[in-house]
Amino acid sequence: MDISKLLKPKKIAVIGASEKEGFGGDTCRNIIRYMNPEDYYFINPKREQVQGVRCYPSISDLPEPVELLVIATPMSTVEDFLREGAKKGARGAVVFASGYGEVGTEEGAQAELRLKALCQELDIALMGPNCAGYANYVDMIYPYAFISNERDRKGAVGVVSQSGQLVLSMMEAPSIRFSYAISSGNGKITTIEDYLDFLVDDEDTQVIALYMEGSKQPAKLAATLKKAALKRKPIVVLKTGRSAKGQALAASHTGSLSGSDKVFDALFDKFGVIRVDDLEELISTAQALAVLKKLPENNGFSSISLSGGETGICADLGQITGLNYPDFSEKTVKALEVVLPSYATVNNPLDSTASLSYDINKFGSVCEAVMKDPAVGIVAIGYTLLEEISDNAIYYMSEALERVMKEEWAKPCLMLPFAENTRNREYVKKLERIGVPVLPTSRYALKIIKNILDFTGYRPEDHNLEVAILSDLTMTQRSSSEKSKLPQEEGAGRVSTALTESESKMLIQKYGIDCGIFEVARNREEAGEIFTRLKLKKAVAKVDSPDILHKSDVGCVILNLNSPEKAMEAYDTILKNAKTHFENPDIRGVQICSMAEKGTEVILGVNNDPQFGPCVLVGLGGIFVEIFKDTSMALAPISRKEADNMIRKLKSFRILDGYRGAPKSDLDALSDAIVRISEMAAERAKELRELDINPIFVYEEGICAVDALYIKQ
């Protein structure tokens, strides 16, 4: 399927052209308003004209081939029109009709399968069904079913959305301009991943804004995000599903597989994707990135406001947002002191005082001094731009900024308002022409600046850009059927997918994880012999069974063994306790292992996500995991830099780093372990379901895995 026939057709035909309000009539109104008359045809066998445009009785009656069909007729007619259109050269289609897989009925599912098979047979890239269409502002192609106010919307932001209404909301927002605005709808034939891939390659799209509820092609999604990361093309994503309610709504809306939300966070982190929280942040972050003529070279931020109150707001919200306000250099301070009034104090954030905003040269000199500071990467001008201008300051400030932004040394600059007002469109356009976006109010504005700095601080070379996804088909089947058996902990005759602890330890030892020394005793005498042969001073005895996973809960772990005799006694006790709590458990023996010295407890684990494959998790052990849920996650395989970042993301990182004089843990050894486990998980993605290494003791030098549980699919 050639998606360009769908999104960049030379000729289009609207089937079901109408005078009425609704998808057929409103699509015709949009096409008449925005497209060249020679590029489209209307089809309605009952009408000679629609809205003053000639109507043809059928696709076959058209005087020339068409590449795109826009089908605004009921579901029952769609397949016949696709067949007829294919004979006329159509290789793209927009289908508005609903009633397919998204409705959750058997009839809808079967209709969707037929539609998909037909599109594959005819080689037709189909948008929808149950979509609102799209607008191509690059070529002015407008098969879009929603009416909005006429304005100049042509720009550089490519939008893809699984919600048609959100596309309309973005098109009605005056602050954003588009290359493409795409409502993907059901998205079972041409998918949201296909549109994303198209926009990543599209030279007219500088920034991609994506609303998504889930992914049906995780392998393609990861490959496309990787391509964007290497091209350094920004992708800004609003994804629902953070909450249980959000996941349920996403599934009912489009039948999407929402996936674990933390896994999506890990996916976005790996590829430098900007994740936002709502539509305003999506619109404003994408448009700001499209307007800026250059991106920051470091994460230093400075704001220049006209009053102490505004400066205080910037200081507080900057800290809340996590922005870095570097101190000005001595040279910058001296340059500012020359320009600022005697009563002004030079700080970052800067109160330039209102008087300078009426002086083009002085305000320009303040901007120059701040921008030339080597620690500053991006600058915000604090000013509330009103729709009806009553204060002449903007005249002088905008003129100063126009002069400044032409200079080689100019840094990225944005305007930050402090109250919500409809912006003066003339000055918004003037500022955007010189590369200065006007942001929403301060809380949003500083979050958007943080988004930009996070994107520019992302380095693809610091990340392992591979993801151990088996395939889109395999992962989708797994997630929908969930045929994999869960590990069983009780009951004779049940098939367990868990390895014993000793088998799990031997496996992770092959990947360089220190587990101390251990052997499995098959009888009580062997337990004593192992204690002696391994020259153990202090040992632990544990049942070795795939059926008994929580060993300590049932008296199957005994600590502080200091002699062969104690090891033999422990063997007897453990077997007795196991048989008391379980009926005919599969016992392979009793593991006799060295008792590790106490260190800082860390949990390291893997969960094989149904869509995106193995996810590696690390967290500080004990109450930090159980109460504070203090963990970080990354998709396997991961780089050493990613492993380092995982550790530093933990709220409890300072404990590992030697808080208040405590010994500093061997973070290098822990990072190495994370990388090795991620490599193991990627290599064994087809068989691994779950791995739990809990705890790993981290010492001043080295680590030791005390317990491990490996579970197969």
Model confidence pLDDT, tens digit, residues 142-161: 999 999 888 889 999 999 99
pLDDT in tens, 529-539: 999 999 999 99
Domain range enclosing 187: 148-291
Domain membership flag for residue 8: yes
**Over residues 401-429, mean pLDDT:** 93
User: Which pLDDT tens digit goes with each residue over 198-219?
Assistant: 999 999 999 999 999 889 899 9
Query: Residue 247's pLDDT is what?
Result: 53
Q: Residue 562 maps to which CATH number? A: 3.30.1490.20
Residues 284 and 343 in one domain: no
The tokens for 140 are: 């002015």
Rounded Cα–Cα distance for residues 596 and 366 (Å): 61
Alpha carbon of residue 535 to chain centroid: 51
Taking residue 601's Cβ as centre, other Cβ atoms within 10 Å add up to 17
According to DSSP, the residues that pair with 183 across neighbouring strands are 133, 161
The whole-number pLDDT of residue 243 equals: 66
CATH number for 219: 3.40.50.261
Residues 154 and 286 in one domain: yes
Residue 360 corresponds to which tokens in the numbers above? Answer: 């083009």
- Per-residue confidence band for 665, with pLDDT thresholds at 50, 70 and 90: very high
Residue 506 resides in a domain: no
Alpha-carbon span 42 to 66, nearest angstrom: 12
Task: Give the chain's radius of gyration (CA, Å).
Answer: 31
Give 492 or 631, the one with higher predicted confidence.
631
**7 phi and psi angles, rounded to 5 deg:** -95, -20
Segments in 202-271 forming alpha helices (H): 218-231, 244-254, 261-271
Q: Is the same domain home to 681 and 548?
A: no
Select from 594, 625, 653 the last residue of a domain. 594
Judge whether residue 294 has pLDDT over 50: yes
Alpha helices in 71-163 (DSSP H): 78-87, 106-122
Of residues 126, 68, 70, the one with CA closest to residue 100: 126
Whether omega before 174 lies within 30 degrees of 0, making that bond cis, reads no
Do 286 and 302 share a domain, yes or no? no
Phi/psi region, residue 542 (left: phi>0; alpha: psi -120 to 50; beta: rest), is beta
Q: How far is Cα 101 from Cα 95, in angstroms, rounded to an integer?
A: 14
Q: Looking at the structure, tell me whether residues 304 and 416 fall in a common domain.
A: yes
Kindly state whether residues 214 and 287 are assigned to the same domain. yes
- Structure tokens of 69? 């069909």
Checking if the pLDDT of 480 tops 80, the result is no
Domain for residue 505, yes or no? no
Residue 132 pLDDT > 90, yes or no? yes
Identify whether 280 is part of a domain.
Answer: yes
Shared domain check, 65 and 161: no
Secondary-structure breakdown of the chain: helix, strand, coil percentages, each rounded to the nearest 5: 40, 20, 40
Q: Residue 88's pLDDT band (boundaries 50, 70, 90)?
A: very high
Distance of CA 148 to the CA centre of its chain: 30
Q: What tokens does 401 get?
A: 């900024």
Q: pTM (2 decimals)?
A: 0.91
Which residues contact residue 318 at a Cβ distance below 8 angstroms, ignoring those fewer than 6 apart?
A: 301, 303, 325, 349, 446
Shared-domain flag, residues 393 and 424 = yes
The answer to whether the CB of 407 falls within 8 A of the CB of 365 is: no
Within a domain: residue 46? yes
Q: What is the pLDDT of residue 479?
A: 41
Domain membership flag for residue 497: no
Number of domains in the chain: 5
Using CB atoms within 10 Å of the CB of residue 651, give its burial: 0 to 12 exposed, 13 to 18 middle, 19+ buried.
Answer: middle
Question: Helix or strand or coil: residue 631?
Answer: strand
At residue 484, does pLDDT exceed 80?
no
Q: What is the pLDDT of residue 492?
A: 39
**123 and 157: one domain?**
no
Question: Which residue's structure tokens are 């990361």?
Answer: 229
pLDDT exceeds cutoff 60 at 189: yes
Q: Is the predicted pLDDT of residue 497 greater than 90, yes or no?
A: no
Cis peptide leading into residue 585 (ω within 30°): no
The DSSP element (H or E) to which 362 belongs, if any, is helix 360-371
* Residue indicated by tokens 């959305």: 161
Do 344 and 224 share a structural domain?
no
Give the largest Cα separation in the chain, rounded.
Answer: 101
